[in-house]
Structure 1
Amino acid sequence: MKLVILCGGQGTRFREETEFRPKPMIEIGGRPILWHIMKLYTHHNVTDFVLCLGYKGYAIKEFFFNYEMRTKDFTVYLGREGGVKYRSDHEETGWSVTLAETGESALTGARLRRVRKYLDEQTFCLTYGDGVGDINIKELIQFHQSHGKLGTVTGVRPPGRFGELQTQGYKVNAFAEKPQVTEGLINGGFFVFEREFLDRYLDDRDDLSLEREPLQRLAADGELMVWPHQGFWQPMDTYREWKLLEGLWQTGHAPWKVWE
């Protein structure tokens, strides 16, 4: 199964860092948060990634293009017949990473629509490139496959500044983008969709936000289900939130590190 990661936003609430690099490349423990997200999914046997690039996307391209050099021992043979021989391996062997330019100013719905050509399976995962959690991806996928609807969103319960989910059992009745006050589950990302969602609910408009019209319509049509997550979940939108995640990693108590 493929995972689409939304990596193109400008990260305006974290301008002290995103002025120089895209938010998914901000490091926790010396590795980009994007890498942490990919390691989480790899633990659950999802190793085929499609990255939706936009703002400063070249930094993400350079990171993966030079990944072997960054992570392996190697010998360089100089001269006319020279070359490079890698002397070690890394734990990310087997990853497939497609880096797709989806527009400098496009919103999330447009970005997802523009990688449609790379999604050749019926079901795919989607998440944001700036949040981590101890999400059981395998159970999330199994839940999605059990209910037969077009979409599943992971619902979490942190502070109320994200899209609130009005639910009835496992069914999402309404999707409200960033309400001022919230008491219920909120959009934690970590979605699973059927490919039909791309054709019926998305188009190519730059200003198409996934969290507004598409998900609101999907919920109104009874095609969006919620998978409640009671464990750790934390976005990284500000320096304060980065400091929290970095501190957890440095003390060896990072709940999202489910891999060995």
Structure 2
Amino acid sequence: MKVVILAGGLGTRLSEETTIKPKPMVEIGGMPILWHIMKIYSSYGFNEFVICLGYKGYVIKEFFNNYFLHRSDITVDLKNNKVTFNDSDAEPWTITLVDTGVNSMTGGRIKRIQKHIGNEPFFLTYGDGLSDVNLLELLSTHKKANKLLTVTSVQPNGRFGALNLSETNEVLSFLEKPKGDGSWINGGYFVCEPEVFNFISGDESVFEKEPMENLAKGGKMQAYLHHGFWKPMDTLRDKVELEQQWDSGSAQWKIW
């Protein structure tokens, strides 16, 4: 199965980084978050990727075009104009990089890569979210449900610490990162049947609006409840937290 990754957004809340690069190229542990997401899929044997480019997409093209250079020791023979790659550390990936428009919405980007998918089911996710989701269980859930779309549903932690107070405002307990209000939200990591393309109109289509709303109304969408780790990189604070996990050796998404 192919893996489609949406990597064309602006990432305005990470403007400290995204003025010079697209959000999926912001690094965690010295490698782009996009690479981490691809490693998650690759660890389950899914190595064929279609990446939807938009804002500063050329940065992603240049990264993969020069991947050996990024991941290898090299010997440069100036006299003979020759470069030898030593001990290259390259993944077994096939990557199709598709310009899907700078201003296209998520649905429009998905629609534009239809010809690269054909009449087969495919994975789909965002280029800024990390998880330890079991992709084989996700795929099994999708097949059993016999729906057109399965979405990984998560319960994110709250942004702020929660206080449990007595009637006299004594703090009885404190929880630094409580669960949210109990609602299950869209965590990405979708499985799609090719019929999903029929629910998307043009570049202005937002996948999370009419397409998903209509799929749900028609009883064609299933949820896979994920109780493990999930975290999007929306802000600089998120990036710092992910960096700290990686540097401490406790990165929960590192399943490879």
Structure 1 and Structure 2 fold alike (TM over 0.5):
yes
8 A contact 2:71–2:90 mirrored in 1: no
Per-residue Cα deviation, 1:46-85 (whole angstroms, up to 9, x for no partner): 10000000001111111001001111233344456x5433
8 A contact 2:68–2:90 mirrored in 1: no
Aligned twin of 1:72: 72
Aligned twin of 2:241: 244
Range with bigger deviation, 105-114 or 141-150: 141-150
8 A contact 1:126–1:191 mirrored in 2: yes
Structure 2 unaligned runs (5+)?
160-179
Higher-Rg structure is 2
CA drift of 1:243 comes to: 0.9
Aligned twin of 2:196: 197
Matches within 5 A, 1:33-72: 33-72=33-72
8 A contact 1:155–1:229 mirrored in 2: yes
CA drift of 1:229 comes to: 0.2
Aligned twin of 2:132: 134
Letter in 1 for 2:126: Y
8 A contact 1:6–1:129 mirrored in 2: yes
Q: Secondary structure at the match of 2:204?
A: coil
Aligned twin of 2:24: 24
Take 2:182 and 2:207, find their aligned partners in 1: how far apart are those partners? Answer: 22
Per-residue Cα deviation, 1:152-203 (whole angstroms, up to 9, x for no partner): 0000001589xxxxxxxxxxxxxxxxxxx953210000000001111x2012
Letter in 1 for 2:17: E
8 A contact 2:22–2:57 mirrored in 1: yes
User: Structure 1-normalised TM-score?
Assistant: 0.86
Aligned twin of 1:218: 215
Letter in 2 for 1:195: P
Take 1:86 and 1:17, find their aligned partners in 2: how far apart are those partners? Answer: 30
CA drift of 1:91 comes to: 4.5
Take 2:90 and 2:147, find their aligned partners in 1: how far apart are those partners? Answer: 35
Provide closer, same or farther for how the CA distance between residues 223 and 182 of structure 1 changes in structure 2, counting only shifts above 3 A.
Answer: farther
8 A contact 2:74–2:85 mirrored in 1: yes
Q: Secondary structure at the match of 1:61?
A: helix
Letter in 1 for 2:192: F
8 A contact 1:61–1:99 mirrored in 2: yes
Instruction: Identify the match of residue 146 of structure 2 among 112, 135, 148.
Output: 148
* Overall identity of the aligned pairs, in %: 49
CA drift of 1:148 comes to: 1.2
Range with bigger deviation, 138-147 or 42-51: 138-147
Aligned twin of 2:106: 108
User: Structure 2-normalised TM-score?
Assistant: 0.88
Aligned length: 236
8 A contact 1:245–1:254 mirrored in 2: yes
Provide closer, same or farther for how the CA distance between residues 60 and 185 of structure 1 changes in structure 2, counting only shifts above 3 A.
Answer: same
Per-residue Cα deviation, 1:99-139 (whole angstroms, up to 9, x for no partner): 10000011100000001111025110000000101111111
Per-residue Cα deviation, 1:201-257 (whole angstroms, up to 9, x for no partner): 0122x2210000000000000000000000000000001111111111111100000
Take 1:35 and 1:238, find their aligned partners in 2: how far apart are those partners? Answer: 18
Take 2:244 and 2:33, find their aligned partners in 1: how far apart are those partners? Answer: 14
Instruction: Identify the match of residue 156 of structure 2 among 148, 158, 168.
Output: 158
Provide closer, same or farther for how the CA distance between residues 43 and 99 of structure 1 changes in structure 2, counting only shifts above 3 A.
Answer: same
Take 1:159 and 1:73, find their aligned partners in 2: how far apart are those partners? Answer: 41
Q: Secondary structure at the match of 2:17?
A: helix
Take 1:229 and 1:130, find their aligned partners in 2: how far apart are those partners? Answer: 17
